[in-house]
Amino acid sequence: MKLETTNIDKSLLKEKNKIYHNIDKIREDFPILKQKVRGKTLVYLDNAATTQKPKIVIDAISNYYLTLNSNIHRGVHFLSEKATFEYEKARTKVKEFINALSASEIVFTRGATESINLAAFSYGLTYLKDGDEIIISTLEHHANIVPWQEVCRRTGAKLKVIPISNNGEILLEKYYELLNNKVKIVAVTQVSNALGVKTPIDEIIKKAKEIGAITLVDGSQAIPHLKIDVQSLGCDFYVFSGHKVYGPTGIGVLYGKADLLEKMPPYQTGGDMIRSVTFEKTIYNDIPMKFEAGTPNIEGAIALQKAIEYVKNLNIEEISEYEDALLRYCEEKLSDIPDLIIYGRTPCKAAVVSFDIKDIHPHDIGTILDSEGVAIRAGHHCTQPLMQRLGVSATARASFSFYNTFEEIDILYQALLKTIKLMK
């Protein structure tokens, strides 16, 4: 079932969507949702910034330190061997989750930001030269802008930007015009963190491949909402952060095709990324260890595995369907509020409503909502070029997860009416 309109029939969800039917039980898995904020029950609508963690993830971190704490890949004792096994099992779980060809194509990092930097500085600085071109889009998070700017500064390459429509949709015809034999890298988000707009990523990758360009997909906002298949996408790199998909902070993933990772130099050097070291020469380890210098976030990887298992158990298609219903319901409700403008109003979205209210600063909106126990994000969302394109300095952003409810959107609606009454 696909919900195409804003006229949400919740009875259909109740009959066919397991998440809707089991929402109370699901919310029990997230202890933080029970707490009071400013004397009100927490309504957490800042999921695009970070998702809350189910108890199974929290327990995995605790259990690691209670029973497994040891360094990996280096010890011959029980704890080290067990920790190594669990860490590498997590890598295999990520490989299966995004359908990579091999676990060796999964590099653990601190997050999507480090993953992009790794690709930019290892591949980009090695293979780009003066006159080459890199294409990104207007929708990008700063983490997918600044590294490429730095690569351009160091190599003499040029950064080109795909424009968007007033609704935040990528203008494909303008993208086609940017493509030429000078373009070596195309790096584009799959879902905008600021607007929730989905990009036509399949077409973007297809056209980039036709000219032989390397592609990187920022999947940070896509990974919790959509089924990801990197082989089907055909991208060369795919990045995401664990904390966006119900895992802990400080753990992220860089997927890279094995043939590319093999020829890329290390991003950092030190222990565990080497095969042998002498004062005359160092021989680097095989992938992916070549890119994992030092002691990694072992418990983070193990906990990420538990988060992935949790999401898979719920079923990503069911998650997407339920969140889409929340999104359309929220857009419908907020459209009734005078002087409220929704940005990125398009059918092709994922779980984000970005808005402002005439003559009320988004920070004021966020502050008053907080007094009602409602957590949203207010600001430029690390997308200042996008805000400039929209003609605003900031927006208020409500973003949803499968543990959110229609009743919470009603609370958001009433809190926004109170905001207008107080401020106007």
Find the catalytic residue in 152, 235, 330, 382. Answer: 382
Which residue's structure tokens are 């409810």?
405
Q: Where are the alpha helices (DSSP H) in 240-315?
A: 258-263, 298-314
Measured between alpha carbons, how far is residue 45 from residues 81, 123, 140, 334, 406 in Å?
40, 37, 21, 14, 12
**Is 330 a residue of the active site?**
no
- Residues 264, 125 contacting (CB under 8 angstroms): no
User: What is the distance between the alpha carbons of residues 98 and 198, in angstroms, rounded to a whole number?
Assistant: 18
CA 347 vs. chain centroid, Å, equals: 20
Query: How many angstroms separate the CA atoms of 194 and 389, rounded?
Result: 12
CB atoms within 10 A of CB 420: 18
Contacts of 252 (CB under 8 A, 6+ apart): 108, 109, 110, 111, 112, 113, 114, 115, 239, 240, 241, 242
Report the chain's C-alpha Rg in angstroms.
Answer: 22
End-to-end CA distance of the chain: 42
Retrieve residue 246's tokens.
């119900």
* CB-based contact 71:295 (threshold 8 Å): yes
In angstroms, rounded to a whole number, what is the distance separating the alpha carbons of residues 58 and 51?
13
Positions annotated as catalytic residues are: 382
